[in-house]
Structure 1
Amino acid sequence: MKQYLFTALLCALSLCAQAQRLSRDYQNESLSKVLEDLNAATSDQTIYFIYDELEDFTVTSHFSDLPLKEAIREVIGFYPMKVTYDDNRIFIECTQKEDAKVIGRVVDAEGQPIEFANVSLHGVADPNSSDRNSTYINGGVSNENGDFVIPCREKKIMLKVTYVGYKTVTRHVSVGNIGTITLLPETYMVKGVEVKGEIPQYKMAQGGMTVDVQHSILHDIGTADDLLSMIPMVQSKDGKFEVLAKGEPEIYINNKKVRDPSELKQLKSVDIKSVDVITSPGAKYNAEVNAVIRIKTLKPQGDGLSLMVTSDTWKNNKWNNYDDLTLKYRIGGLEVFANVALDNGHYSNDQDLEQELHIKKDFFDVHADLPVRSSWTELQYKGGLSYDFNTDHSLGLSFSSQKIFYNRFKSDMTQNYLKNGAFYGDVLLNTDIDELDKPVWELNTYYVGKVGKLDIDLNATMLQRKTESHLNQQEYSQELGDRTITTLNHEDRKMMAGKLVLSYPVWKGVLSGGTEATSTKSYGRNFNEEGIIPETDNEMKEKNIAGFAEYELQLGQWRLNAGLRFEHVKTDYYSFGEWQQEPSRTYNDWFPNLSAAWQKDKWSAQLSYSKRITRPPYRMLESMIVYDSRMFYEGGNPLLRPSVRQGIDLNFTYSWLTFVAGFTRENDLFTHIGRVYDEEKEIAIFQPMNFDHQDRVYATFVASPKLGFWQPTATLHYYQQMFDAESYGAPKKLNKPEFSFDLKSWFVICPTMKALLQIGYTGSNHWAFMYRGDSFAVNARLQKSFFNERLSCTLYANDIFRTAKTKMTTYYAIGLTDQDVYTYTQCVGLTLSYNFNVSGSKYKGSGAGNDEKNRL
């Protein structure tokens, strides 16, 4: 044992003896603070400098895996600095000792920073002198954020800014902070070739790609909610987001999990630096995660009070509005924030249904018209605080809840029944569901810190969600008789979770590992007074304990990643207080992930593999029965098993071009299917069941060129399942592929105004037991900002030609259901947003048990 310990100690010492390599992301940070951070990150060298002398110089830089000396050269850039090395000591001083400085920022016509712009200072010529030529005094170059700081002994000077492809700006200024200088484009021809600058929009990220928002036309589109619907490979559907071929993603803002959609409405797009779309998540994410969207914001600047007010009003068949107010106060490392939102909305759809059912020897043909209307008024509120002790330690706490003033669902379904081709009866079913206000709250806390070279990320979450709804249904039928169905549904769900992630640099990479633990209780009771549907009383207790490790290695132009996650899940199922053996289960699963990526200049490629799992939502696992009609029920399935999928993804990126292709096999796929519930009473039920496996192939091509004032983004997508539906009773093979096309055309009218025309088409296809018809939609928006982007006004129109309808047919062994649905997506709306001193939140928590929250 001593020999093993001695060997381990030698290995550890050898690793520490290697030159420290650093990875950092600085955004408009003082050079003095940056040097303090670099000095704290190394134990074998010391950096000496005069704090006040370098404080005015700002640093915006991102670098990975650099030795300390190269990192220092990276952050100093073109500033007039002298660096002296003396053994283990590094001395840094400004070579120009003037107390006064000219400080400013260079941006383009869209407000985006321009890096490497030449800034020169010249003396102002004396008008009484015969020599009218100005004298060169000093000069500098703008950094990644467009910032420049140039020492200057004169009080009044002439400033000149030049950059290839832009018109030169000359301005008389006084020393100090001169503000922002805007350069206008000046395209010109060189032997027939138009010269213009270009910043790559897409870059490879671990398991996916990164979209540069800060330098794109999307930077001021509005909110993060508006932005994500414009990101390639991301679709907005029914208020949620989907990644093509992957499904619903987990969304993070600066490592903080988004649990409430209002969080995306509160974040301004101008505060977003980039968006990562991860199609092959690593080991630190829960094994249930299909895809991840990571939103990275620009670092908040300045202290004081900030205010953001947003009002969104739209009209489809009814008026809807969403009003949001966010207040933040920052001083030093402390930030206190509060948010309140009022959601007054309506949802409507009209369904035309046809059902064919074979029960015993009888054949039933049912035609139904189902108009659905729901309305709600909710108040959502959230508050919290965070404190940054220094660049290495941060704590935070947040609390959120809601108040339901009104939430009601109504439908009046007319049904016509034929039995064996003869008239059987007409039924009118009136349904009224009223949801009562019950406690719903969530408490999150976090600590993010660094001890030496060890990064620590700790999150804890508690939540409670109670719901109670009263369902009143009245059936009227001369042929089949009248019927009353009164149902009370009560649900109570509680969760506690914690997650710890540790990261440490090892050799040329970073080793990370940690643990995540979740404890959940879910109780549900469903009681029907008339006894038409059976009473249920279910309770599930589930504990999930996971451990994971991941190593990312950078070798020149290659980046390699390997991770492994282990999850132990134990579920106890109770019915009417008695433990049930069959649905009570224990799972022990390993989930590996591997990726290899290559990047050079604007070219990049990545191959990745991952194993994931999908656990059924708790509602699917309940035995509760829902009354849909006299002959058709819906219900859960306590015996449902999780599905496990393995996938391979291949990504190619070149500047504004991206291609993604992949293959997934999902074992124990669960989806809904119809079967006989009560043969004597001739009742069918629609409930989830497991099926052997489903294979899927997919490919996506995205192009986003910049063609002057026209900036289009075109997406072509192919998706196909390979699923043996016939062996489960479907009448034919259901493997028709999906082909879809989306074109978003942005037109830049002027720096403060832009317009969008979006055209989307999805062809008919098959998924599981379902045929999905084609769909087509045209959307448009006009956006204008005022008062230096403090006030924004957006006029939009969706589904202009009322063509975004849903047509689908679900096949099963005893029949089929054909649906033609329109959800009143045609609408026109106006969004007004006013912002005062707004910047991204300092809150850095990511939450814990995030996938368990989704299941709840």
Structure 2
Amino acid sequence: MKKFYMVLTMLLLFANMAKAQQTIRGWIVDEQRSPIEYANIIALSVRDSSLVTGAITDNTGAFQLSVPNDAKVFLRISGVGYTQSNVSLPLATDTLQLKAEAKTMEGITVTAQRPKMAIRNDALVTTIIGSSLAKAGSGNDVLKRIPLLSGKDGNYSVVGKGSAVIYINNRRVNDATELERLNSSDIKDVEVVTNPGARYDASVRAVIRIHTVKRAGDGFGFDARSSVYYWENWDTENQLNAYYRHKGLEITAGTGYYIDNGINNQTTINEVQIANLWENRWNSESKSRSTNNNYTLSAAYEINQNHAVGARFFTNLVVGKNDNHGVFSTDILKNNILYDHIESQIQGKASAIPNKSLSAYYVGKVGKLGIDFNTDYYYGRETDKKITTEQSKNYENRMVTTVGQHANQLFATKLVLSHPLLGGNLSVGNENTYTNHEQTFNNEEGFVANATSSIKERNNAVFMEYSRMTSIGQLMAGLRYEHVNSDYYDQGVYSPDHSRTYNQWFPSFSFATQIKKVNLQLAYSAKTRRPSYNQLGNNVSYVNRFTRQSGNPTLKPTTLHDLSLVTNWKILTLVANYTETHNQIMYWNEQDPNDENITTLRYRNLDKLPKISLSLTASPTIGIWSPQLTLFYQKQWFDIERLGRKFDLSKPIWGIQMNNTFEFKHNWTVESFMQFNSKGITENTELISNCFNFNCSVRKTFLNDRLSVTVGVDDLFNRGSQQVILYTNTLKTTVHQEFDSRQAYVTLRYKFNTARSKYKGTGAGKNERSRF
């Protein structure tokens, strides 16, 4: 900590001793006088046009740069989709206008379509406004079609990086339904960050940043959406959002009601090779139902262009029937001879008190100093009760009743200060997170030991990030320090053996440049992946009388070193990632010392795991057809000790993803999505069958795009099955799962005077909450 403040003090002192400089300020707007975000302003020498310094406009179109008093320079201003402009100094006005690029063809002026993809600062940017994606429907509909992304319903992953955190206008998205409420026509662009810098939590490996267009106008507005899904069962999603805007004030309220019915048919074979060969084979058919109702209320007030405050409250209620029912038929073999046959039924029920989250923020500017402060609070508690009835052919029958409960509480703050420094921008910040996780497990019949544990954790972080435009490109360097103190309590008694203290540094670096028409970005970052609280817990889940599942309080955090290269040329984008992982968390098995045929699956840390991933995307536009083709490849170099010898787990995975959008007259849009994944291995799990998915939809809009109707089918060919093998030291688990993934659906959506939210909070402690 002392070293951090010493470095910061030296930088500030050096800035004060720097040569006397003049400051140039202004705003960049388009022909409608709307601000242009991310326009480039560079100061060039009048003598030889060499680069002196540069800056990028913020979301208000504002820029600021400093040059030596004796320097003779002029400004060159450019932006994606706009004609480049040179401006001499001193400025005649502080508001500078850029014109859209245009070309003339047979007397007709056609505004050039902006490139769909480009590299900007630390991100790969896809422009939405003015493209076919602006009519996709919702925010989810847009993200499904962004290169490098896969997922749905607010949960998305980046190729080679895993799960991504999502921001809308610099505010962290916590409610997955928020993306469904966001209109695609309101999205300006989407940024995918494959190597996030020091201002992000050290566990964040990928970021999706969504920027929306600024809508003018006060008054009342609302957005209503209803979707019905059907094939093997019914599901429904219903949302209503309303807002009131007056000058700088905005008040919003929203509610959502969701019913999800699921079917899961599974065949599992557990083979444990110890002194004897034990095989546990079961077929199961299970159905589940969940019902949720959530409410959001927020207020945001822009005091003036330099100061804004806001607060948001969110609660989610588990309402109605939330249960699951399963039927199991199990054969147990010992050395290939039938040991027992069991018929089982499982009844499960979930209940919860309404979880609550409250957040508040202040965003401001005092002189040249930018201030961004956020604070968050969260509390939730859930209870799961399960009754298992077993009818054994050769041994005693059982009824097993288990009740598990976990409660989570979080308080967090985050402060970021930014200031121009030496021709660039310096950001320093502090993030503090305090969490309390409690869980209990009870089995009244005594087949599984009861357990009570709690974890109290404090994470204090400081970070520094510096960026500057140079003559060779954009440089960005950052450093984050995290001090984590985790206290573990077993049965209410502090356990020093299971408590941990971590002090870690996480450096990051990125460099972006352009060589002729090729954009390049090279980035490195050190990250961590902390085990979830369930992975750290000592609760034991009862699967059947021969199989248990448990956490591991001794788990260590995983450390990752990420190196990435992103290149973009015209319609082509290539992304290459290399990741080296230490203390990888994986499933492992242990045998009961008193009964070798009882297997407990729990997590453990394994050694180094290096992995590469490559993806190539082409995004042309051919008349009414906008295709997008992505090829990807992933390979790891990894082996484990299995049955006394080295077992290789290095088989690669490759795949193809194809999106097609056809825009016809009279507001008709036809879309299709195809994805194919090959067999291969990831970590210690082998995919033993190819995966294929095909979705299609037709959309028609009415009333000047205020009303839209979408009809579609997900997983048309019903290939949403999964076949995998899990390998550990003595265990081999083969699983074949079939889900009710094929669904036909109809979505109706009506929007009236909807506008971009003024809420600017970025949130604090969000990654800690995800561990709950």
TM-score (norm. length: structure 2):
0.90
RMSD in angstroms over aligned alpha carbons? Answer: 3.0
Question: What residue is the counterpart of 1:18 in the other structure?
Answer: 21
1:376 maps to 2:293: no
Equivalent pair of 1:65/1:508 in contact (CA under 8 Å) = no
The 1:64–1:558 alpha-carbon spacing in structure 2 relative to 1, beyond 3 Å, is: farther
Unaligned runs of 5+ in 2: 1-6, 37-57, 68-72
Question: What residue is the counterpart of 1:345 in the other structure?
Answer: 260
Question: What residue is the counterpart of 1:811 in the other structure?
Answer: 727
**What CA deviation, in whole Å up to 9, does each residue of 1:731-786 have, x standing for no partner?**
73111001110111111222612111222110001012111131011111111111
The 1:259–1:236 alpha-carbon spacing in structure 2 relative to 1, beyond 3 Å, is: same
1:478, CA displacement in angstroms? 2.5
1:23, CA displacement in angstroms? 8.3
Question: What residue is the counterpart of 1:51 in the other structure?
Answer: none
Number of residue equivalences? 734
**What CA deviation, in whole Å up to 9, does each residue of 1:30-78 have, x standing for no partner?**
68x99xxxxxxxxxxxxxxxxxxxxxxxx99958666799789889x99
1:436 maps to 2:351: yes
How far, CA to CA, are the matches of 1:16 and 1:331 in structure 2? 46
1:621 maps to 2:624: no
Question: What residue is the counterpart of 1:499 in the other structure?
Answer: 414
The 1:363–1:239 alpha-carbon spacing in structure 2 relative to 1, beyond 3 Å, is: farther
What does 1:567-716 correspond to in 2, within 5 Å?
567-599=482-514, 602-680=517-595, 682-716=597-631
How far, CA to CA, are the matches of 1:249 and 1:23 in structure 2? 35
Equivalent pair of 1:612/1:644 in contact (CA under 8 Å) = yes
The 1:480–1:512 alpha-carbon spacing in structure 2 relative to 1, beyond 3 Å, is: same
Letter in 2 for 1:793: V
Question: What residue is the counterpart of 1:551 in the other structure?
Answer: 466
Unaligned runs of 5+ in 1: 35-58, 95-140, 147-161, 169-182, 186-195
**What CA deviation, in whole Å up to 9, does each residue of 1:186-217 have, x standing for no partner?**
xxxxxxxxxx9442111113333111111321
Letter in 2 for 1:540: I
Equivalent pair of 2:318/2:354 in contact (CA under 8 Å) = no
Secondary structure at the aligned position of 1:164 is classed as strand
Equivalent pair of 1:566/1:588 in contact (CA under 8 Å) = yes
Question: What residue is the counterpart of 2:744 in the other structure?
Answer: 828
1:787 maps to 2:665: no
Secondary structure at the aligned position of 1:299 is classed as coil
The 1:216–1:678 alpha-carbon spacing in structure 2 relative to 1, beyond 3 Å, is: farther
Question: What residue is the counterpart of 1:119 in the other structure?
Answer: none
Larger Rg: 1
Equivalent pair of 2:571/2:620 in contact (CA under 8 Å) = yes
Question: What residue is the counterpart of 1:224 in the other structure?
Answer: 139
How far, CA to CA, are the matches of 2:620 and 2:63 in structure 1? 28
How far, CA to CA, are the matches of 1:428 and 1:5 in structure 2? 67
Question: What residue is the counterpart of 1:54 in the other structure?
Answer: none
Alignment equivalent of 1:837, drawn from 737, 741, 753: 753
Equivalent pair of 1:300/1:841 in contact (CA under 8 Å) = no
How far, CA to CA, are the matches of 1:841 and 1:607 in structure 2? 34
Question: What residue is the counterpart of 1:363 in the other structure?
Answer: 277
1:798 maps to 2:714: yes
Question: What residue is the counterpart of 1:777 in the other structure?
Answer: 693
Alignment equivalent of 1:849, drawn from 747, 765, 768: 765
Secondary structure at the aligned position of 1:851 is classed as helix
**What CA deviation, in whole Å up to 9, does each residue of 1:625-660 have, x standing for no partner?**
001111111100000000101011011011321001
**What CA deviation, in whole Å up to 9, does each residue of 1:666-711 have, x standing for no partner?**
0011111222134426200111100011000111100000111111
The 1:238–1:820 alpha-carbon spacing in structure 2 relative to 1, beyond 3 Å, is: farther
Letter in 1 for 2:751: N
**What CA deviation, in whole Å up to 9, does each residue of 1:364-396 have, x standing for no partner?**
222211122110111110101000011110000
How far, CA to CA, are the matches of 1:728 and 1:571 in structure 2? 35
1:393 maps to 2:272: no
The 1:402–1:25 alpha-carbon spacing in structure 2 relative to 1, beyond 3 Å, is: farther
Alignment equivalent of 1:206, drawn from 90, 103, 121: 121
Secondary structure at the aligned position of 1:227 is classed as helix
The 1:494–1:71 alpha-carbon spacing in structure 2 relative to 1, beyond 3 Å, is: farther
1:465, CA displacement in angstroms? 0.9
How far, CA to CA, are the matches of 1:571 and 1:7 in structure 2? 33
The 1:257–1:28 alpha-carbon spacing in structure 2 relative to 1, beyond 3 Å, is: farther
Equivalent pair of 2:140/2:154 in contact (CA under 8 Å) = no
Equivalent pair of 2:671/2:696 in contact (CA under 8 Å) = yes
Question: What residue is the counterpart of 2:375 in the other structure?
Answer: 460
Secondary structure at the aligned position of 2:114 is classed as coil
1:84, CA displacement in angstroms? 12
Which moved further from structure 2: 273-282 or 59-68? 59-68
How far, CA to CA, are the matches of 1:206 and 1:413 in structure 2? 54
Secondary structure at the aligned position of 2:499 is classed as strand
Question: What residue is the counterpart of 2:49 in the other structure?
Answer: none
How far, CA to CA, are the matches of 1:733 and 1:234 in structure 2? 29
Equivalent pair of 1:165/1:197 in contact (CA under 8 Å) = no
How far, CA to CA, are the matches of 1:384 and 1:843 in structure 2? 8
Secondary structure at the aligned position of 2:134 is classed as helix
How far, CA to CA, are the matches of 2:414 and 2:219 in structure 1? 32
1:520, CA displacement in angstroms? 0.5
How far, CA to CA, are the matches of 2:24 and 2:390 in structure 1? 73
1:727, CA displacement in angstroms? 6.0
How far, CA to CA, are the matches of 1:556 and 1:11 in structure 2? 22
How far, CA to CA, are the matches of 1:217 and 1:550 in structure 2? 36
The 1:450–1:682 alpha-carbon spacing in structure 2 relative to 1, beyond 3 Å, is: same
